[in-house]
Amino acid sequence: MQLKCLRCGKLYPPIVTLEKCACGGPLSLEGARSSGTGDGVWRYRRHLPSMEVELSLGEAATPLIPCIGLQKQIRLASLYVKDESKNPTGSYIDRGSAVLASAIASSGLLSVRLHGDGNYIASMGAYLARAGVKALGSYELPVDLSKTIQASLYGVKHSSSESSPVVSYRNPFMLEGLKTIAIEMVEQLNTVPSAVIVPTATGVLLFSLYKGFRELLDYGSIDNLPVLYAAVSKGHPLVSSKQAHTALFLPVADKTYIEEARKALRGTGGDAVEVSDAEMIRCVRVLARVEGILAEPSAAASVAACFRISKRLASSSPVVALVTGSGLKALDLLAYSSDATGAGAAFHRIKVEILKAIAERAPIHAYGIYKLLNERGLATSPQLVYAYLEDLSKRGLVYSMNVASQRRKKVFYLTPVGRSLLSLVTY
């Protein structure tokens, strides 16, 4: 077993904390595989590296759901949703975490610093808790506060300055676990899907699926590859090299695997399909109301892409749309753009009004926001406005700057993500 650079071909020993080649290229785990069968993702041992410790929380074996209602709406002959939200922490990442956390536990590391988004840190937090490995977390833009709460319940401590080795989402052991989605899909369908639509941000998931299908082809288990489509947010590097990328959902935090993702699309005759934040939100509702599947907005990108390219997909059968994560993790965020008028929506109303006030008047200090809200008939207190501003800062929606010349020193601005969120608000 060894790590191979996908760019220059250089070989390295399979050290779990090694995530990039000296040339900057991504690494892929190659060579010896395990045998037999085990629990969860370890059912696919013959595709996975051999480990001393095999952690599982019952990940994998997620349902492949025929979606008759949705396929009628999109005008497809046969559409399935591969529902990865049914994994233990509500995200497809659990498959990768089972393998990566096992590699960390097997290597004897006592603590690691996790770097990535909320889904990644929550998922790894769960598996590392089971292994008794201390986990610190440094978040890329924690918009979904519920995921940071989930991670902290698994014992992840927030930290960016510790000396523990960094383990990120783009770790080669993570990719090994994610690969099993492709293998499981073929097993459940008993054939190769003609097209698979994959929500894509960093390209890690798309490349992992490609690797999985390629392995099946090499083993002689299948005769052809499905066409892979990447469902990406507006301005994603797979579709644009110039545009600023400020989408709220499926943001690109790291570009290490973008070239590999591009190769996966080219290698299967597929393409990247741009969908907007608003289309993803709309498809959360469509999936929930038509099929009873509650996806988080980024996970519904695959369905949004199916609507976009329905004519191109019309002759493909069966089509599989990957739903990557559960909407239960994003209920607070969904409330901002919900057409419901319940207590949840009312609770978020003040935060939305704060965002609007900053959009209109930035730079503006906290007391100024309070005064403006009061003028608009929103009964609130300065303390509540301060607390909400802190929450909005943590989510990466607003940022503050100190102005030395003013009595009230701190002024607030919207971040590009804050502006994107505001554009989705429906009330």
Q: Is 114 left (phi over 0), alpha (psi -120 to 50) or beta?
A: beta
Alpha-carbon span 273 to 300, nearest angstrom: 13
Q: Which stretch binds Zn ion (CB under 5 A): 20-28, 45-53, 119-127, 151-159?
A: 20-28
Are 216 and 249 within 8 A, CB to CB? no
Q: Are strands 111-116 and 134-139 parallel, antiparallel or unpaired?
A: parallel
Pick the closer one to Zn ion by CB: 23 or 362: 23
Cα 162 vs. chain centroid, distance in angstroms? Answer: 25
Alpha-carbon span 153 to 151, nearest angstrom: 5
- Least separation in angstroms between residue 27's CB and Zn ion is 8
Pick the closer one to Zn ion by CB: 94 or 260: 260
What distance, in Å, lies between the first and last C-alpha atoms of the chain?
55
Pick the closer one to Zn ion by CB: 27 or 265: 27
Beta carbons within 8 Å of 110's beta carbon, 6+ residues apart: 133, 134
- Least separation in angstroms between residue 344's CB and Zn ion is 48
Pick the closer one to Zn ion by CB: 263 or 419: 263
Q: Which stretch binds Zn ion (CB under 5 A): 7-15, 53-61, 109-117, 188-196?
A: 7-15
DSSP states along 74-113? HT-S-EEEEEGGGSTTSBTHHHHHHHHHHHHHHHT-SEEE
- Whole-angstrom CA distances from 208 to 193, 203, 214 are 16, 8, 10
- Least separation in angstroms between residue 26's CB and Zn ion is 9
Let me know the angle formed at the C-alpha of 376 by 371 and 382, rounded to the nearest 5 degrees: 30
Does 5 help bind Zn ion (rule: CB under 5 A)? yes
Structure tokens at 246: 């400020």
- Least separation in angstroms between residue 22's CB and Zn ion is 6
Alpha-carbon span 214 to 210, nearest angstrom: 6
- Least separation in angstroms between residue 47's CB and Zn ion is 24
Pick the closer one to Zn ion by CB: 24 or 58: 24
Binding residues for Zn ion, total number by CB under 5 A: 7
Pick the closer one to Zn ion by CB: 22 or 343: 22
Pick the closer one to Zn ion by CB: 3 or 16: 3
- Least separation in angstroms between residue 21's CB and Zn ion is 3
The 26-45 contact track toward Zn ion, x by CB under 5 A, reads --------------------
Does 25 help bind Zn ion (rule: CB under 5 A)? yes
Q: What is the DSSP letter of 253?
A: S
- Least separation in angstroms between residue 398's CB and Zn ion is 40
Q: What is the DSSP letter of 17?
A: T
Number of H helices, E strands in the chain: 16, 15
Beta carbons within 8 Å of 169's beta carbon, 6+ residues apart: 93, 115, 116, 117, 120, 202, 204, 254
- Least separation in angstroms between residue 30's CB and Zn ion is 14
Pick the closer one to Zn ion by CB: 25 or 318: 25
Are 281 and 273 within 8 A, CB to CB? no
Does 23 help bind Zn ion (rule: CB under 5 A)? yes
- Least separation in angstroms between residue 110's CB and Zn ion is 30
Residues 377-396 that bind Zn ion (CB under 5 A): none
Pick the closer one to Zn ion by CB: 3 or 205: 3
Pick the closer one to Zn ion by CB: 26 or 297: 26
User: Which one among 1, 8, 362, 401 touches Zn ion, defined by CB under 5 A?
Assistant: 8
Strand-pair partners of 65: 81
- Least separation in angstroms between residue 238's CB and Zn ion is 22
Q: Which stretch binds Zn ion (CB under 5 A): 18-26, 83-91, 221-229, 383-391?
A: 18-26
Does 20 help bind Zn ion (rule: CB under 5 A)? no
Are 393 and 399 within 8 A, CB to CB? yes
Residue ranges that bind Zn ion, judged by CB under 5 A: 5, 7-8, 10, 21, 23, 25
